[in-house]
Structure formats: structure tokens, C-alpha cells
Amino acid sequence: MLEFLTENLLWWHWIIFGLSLIILEIFTGTFFILGLGVSAIIVGSLSYFYPVSLEIELIIWMILSLLSIAIWFKYLRDKRVEESGQSNYSLKTKGTIEEPIPAYGRGKVRFDRPVLGNTIWHATAKENINLTSRVKIVEIKGQLIEVKEI
């Protein structure tokens, strides 16, 4: 099998393989396979200008692929951790009181950015908070948010 590949694998096979990987990348959208495809195209181009053995081509492709994977992990991978729907989601979000909150009572707060999909929430507090005061979230308790004045 290796002899067959060594004798019959030409530079344009690498180009076709690389293009196939890039087309496959279109359907995944991760940019992970893109590096493997570009590496194969580079190996095909090098093989066209400087013919080498299949083993050397495979080593070059593996090195370039590992390099592209390292770059992908370092710079391109999505590093954001989604907290949407979690109890600690948006605890740093600030808002303005729209309906005064008596101590241990209920009022309304308009947040500067959506919290779990809404900007206006019923809220409670441990102290009296007047209209138009600025507050921040202390805790999310189901459909009720505990706030404190800042």
C-alpha cells in the first residue's frame, strides 16, 4: 500500500485533499479543519516545486498541521464561557430603580443591559431604595432579583 502511494501520489493530490478539507470546513465553521487544508495545499505546492518522498511530505504536513492547530487553540478558539441561564449570570449588571423598593419589599428595576432576556425586573432589597437610585444585582432568585444600592 505504501509503495502504491509513494509511486502514485502526486502534488495535485495534496491540492485536491487540501481543497476538500477547506470545503468540509465550510460546513463546520470552526476554522479547525481550515488549517489542515491549508497545510495540505502548502505541501502540494512544495511538492510541485521540490519533489520529495511521500514520507517527507507527510512529515511536513503533520508539522504544518500541528502548527495550525496550536495557532487555532491560541488565537482562534472561542474562549467565551456562556453563563446565560446560570444563577451567577450578569451579577455585575447595574440598573436604575423605576418603582421604589421598601425594605424587604418589591419594586421594579430597569437594568442597563438585559438580564436573562429582560431589562425590567421585579426586585427586592434589604433596605429602602428610592426612585432613580442606581443599584447592582446581589442575587437572582427565580423570577425575583435582589439588589443593593451603589
Residue 133 CA to residue 109 CA, distance in Å, equals 10
Each residue of 46-85: pLDDT tens digit? 999 999 988 999 999 999 999 999 988 888 776 655 555 5
* Domain residue spans of the chain: 2-76, 94-149
Q: Which amino acid is at 66?
A: L
Match 502504491 to its residue by C-alpha cell. 4
Superfamily name and number for 94-149: Nucleic acid-binding proteins (2.40.50.140)
Q: Can you give the pLDDT at residue 58?
A: 94
Q: Residues 100, 115: contact at Cβ < 8 Å?
A: no
Residue 67 CA to residue 128 CA, distance in Å, equals 59
Share of the chain above pLDDT 70, in %: 88
Residue 127 CA to residue 104 CA, distance in Å, equals 7
Q: Can you give the pLDDT at residue 67?
A: 96
